Structures are given as structure tokens and as C-alpha cells.
Amino acid sequence: MMDETEADADEEAWLQLRPVEPLPSQCCGSGCSPCVFDLYHRELARWEAAQASKDRSLLSGEESQSCPSQLSPETFLAFRISAMDRLTEDTYRVRFALPRNCQLGLRPGQHLILRGKVDGLEIQRAYTPISPANAEGYFEVLIKCYPTGLMSQYVKSWSTGDTAFWRGPFGDFFYKANQYSELLMLASGTGLAPMVPVLQSITDNAEDETFVTLVGCFKTFEGIYLKTFLQEQARFWNVRTFFVLSQENSLEKLPWSYREKTRFGRLAQGLIEELVGSCRRKPFALVCGSAEFTKDMARCLLRAGLAEDSYFLF
């Protein structure tokens, strides 16, 4: 039997292993299931069971990545940064390596949760990979950094070779080839991210005859993400791309190839109705951007004649 001193020490050791309740900042706010708070309660129950049985082997810690097939919504896995490209003044395309040419295992449009730590504070945010769903040996994400963003501070500290922790997948939109006769994609800024793998899955599949109209909303022409990719996609017979620039006002300053498909100002009711009306059939709309943008687009789509089950808000 343990004496009183040993019992106190053992109790203290168990208390040090007790899961720490997450702070509000650790919730990414995207409605993930399981949420970080769900995971906390599961870990707490596991800790209580382990303590009751005095069996520390019942506690599970952080897992190391061995294969993407182990990707889990509940467990953070380590992925190595293999490349970082600065696309604009505040936005990066980051590539993470996967071992043995494995695939990540996400469906087009699904997202992951990134965990960061700044000044001892743990934070979590949601990001959608922009790499093809069948990409082997890597995945890429588009990350915009904000001057006062905590996750932005963490991302700016990255260098090639560093490790970051992700869990997932999450997301309720599951695209299937020829599921819709026409898709209308409305994206603002990095809201372009979930559209990219969906669009590429369509153009990579010769049997998928879905028509796509993609509208990207940005502040300036220089701020348009993935220009080369979008230009290549627009060459397909079933893809149209348009751009709405809120801080530009001169077509003459744009390359010729962009002048006919660019509008100035903000994406509003009139253009939404024009886009819906130009579709061969009533489209299914995908919307991603800020909370304000998403709310505005949902309202515009309803006024343009789409039913609530005819659009999906990422």
C-alpha cells in the first residue's frame, strides 16, 4: 500500500494529466463535429476512467502521422511544410507533404482544422485544401493573414520544413459527377478555396458534363488568387469565369482577356439575376466568403428565384 506522501504524489500526477478545458479562442467557429469542446469532454471521460482504474495506458496522446488514411476528425496529425508561396501581400499557398505518395482522403470542398499556438494560447481555424482531391504526396491550402489575427501570427512564423497539426475532414457538401446540370459558384476572397477542388474534379473527369459559372469577388485585379489556374479552367467548354472587383474602375488597366468578364463594384442583386438568367437551367449555387457576403448572396439567390434547397453555404 502507498503511504500518504506517495498517494498525494500519485494524485498530483493524475491531476497533471487531466485534460484542460478549451478556451473560446480554440473553437474555429465553423460548426465542426466533433468540436474542440466535444473532444475535451471525451478526453475528460477517458481520463476519469483511466484514473479510476489507475491505468495510464487508457490515455491516448497525440498521434504521429504515418499515412493519410489515418486522418481523423478527433486527432491532430503532424504534416511537414514542403513549400510556401506568397500569392499576394497577405495570402500564402502552403504545401504539406504526405508520405509514400498517399492521398489526403478528402472529398472536394471538405475542410480541415489547423491548430496553432501563440504566446501560450491555443487556437484553431478551418481551411479548405485547394489541391485536387486525388493529389498524391501532398495537399495545399490557401491562407490569408490579417494584421491582428492570432492564427496569422502563427502562419507567418512558418518556414519550409516546419510541422503543423491538422484534423478532419469536415463539411457537409459532397459533390458527385453530373449531380447538377449547372453549378453557380459565388466566392469572395479566400472563399475561392472550396470551389477549386470541386471545379477541378469536374474538368478532370471527361464524363462529367456539369456546366460551371464561377464568380470571384476581389478588391483588385492584383489580388485575384490562382489566376493561371482559373484561366486554364476557363478554356474548358463547360466553364465560365467572371470577376467582380470592388476597388477597380478602369477596364483599360486590365489585360484584354479579363475585360469582357470583369465588373466593378460589389456583387449585388442585379448581377446575380443576370447570372442565374444566363444559365441554361436553374443552377445549384455554392457560396463561400465572409459571413456578411454569404448572408447577402443567400438573400440575392432567393430573390432571383432559387429555392433554399438550391444552394449550399460553405
152 marked as part of a ligand binding site: yes
Listing DSSP states for 24-92 in one string gives: GGG--SS--SS-HHHHHHHHHHHHHHHHHHT-GGG---PPPPS-GGG--SSS-EEEEEEEEEE-SSSEE
Q: What is the arrangement of strands in the sheet containing 211-218, beginning at the earlier edge strand?
A: 262-264, 239-245, 211-218, 182-188, 284-288, 311-313
Q: Which residues of 130-139 are buried (b: 16+ CB within 10 A; e: fewer)?
A: bbbbebeebb
Q: Which of 28-32, 152-156, 230-234 has the lowest mean pLDDT?
A: 28-32
**For the chain, which residues make up each domain, given as ranges?**
77-170, 182-313
Q: Tell me how crowded residue 291 is: count the other CB atoms within 10 A of its CB.
A: 9
Tell me the fold of 77-170: Elongation Factor Tu (Ef-tu); domain 3 (2.40.30)
Please determine whether the domains at 77-170 and 182-313 fall in the same fold group of CATH: no
CA 92 to chain centre: 13
Q: Tell me how crowded residue 308 is: count the other CB atoms within 10 A of its CB.
A: 8
From CA 116, how far away is CA 234, in angstroms rounded? 36
Residue 240 main-chain phi, psi, to 5 deg: -120, 140
46 marked as part of a ligand binding site: no
From CA 6, how far away is CA 54, in angstroms rounded? 14
pLDDT-derived band at 23, boundaries 50, 70, 90: low
User: Among all chains, which residue has been given the C-alpha cell 500564402?
Assistant: 92
- Note the pTM of the prediction, 2 decimals: 0.78
pLDDT for 94 beyond 80: yes
Listing DSSP states for 207-233 in one string gives: T---EEEEEEEESSSTT-S-HHHHHHH
Average pLDDT value for the chain: 87
> pLDDT tens digits, residue range 58-91?
565 444 444 544 688 989 999 999 999 999 999 9
146 marked as part of a ligand binding site: no
1 marked as part of a ligand binding site: no
In this structure, which amino acid lies at residue 43?
E
The yes or no reply on domain 182-313 and CATH 3.40.50.10470 is no
From CA 42, how far away is CA 34, in angstroms rounded? 10
Q: Which three cell numbers stand for residue 278?
A: 444566363
261 marked as part of a ligand binding site: no
pLDDT for 204 beyond 80: yes
125 marked as part of a ligand binding site: yes
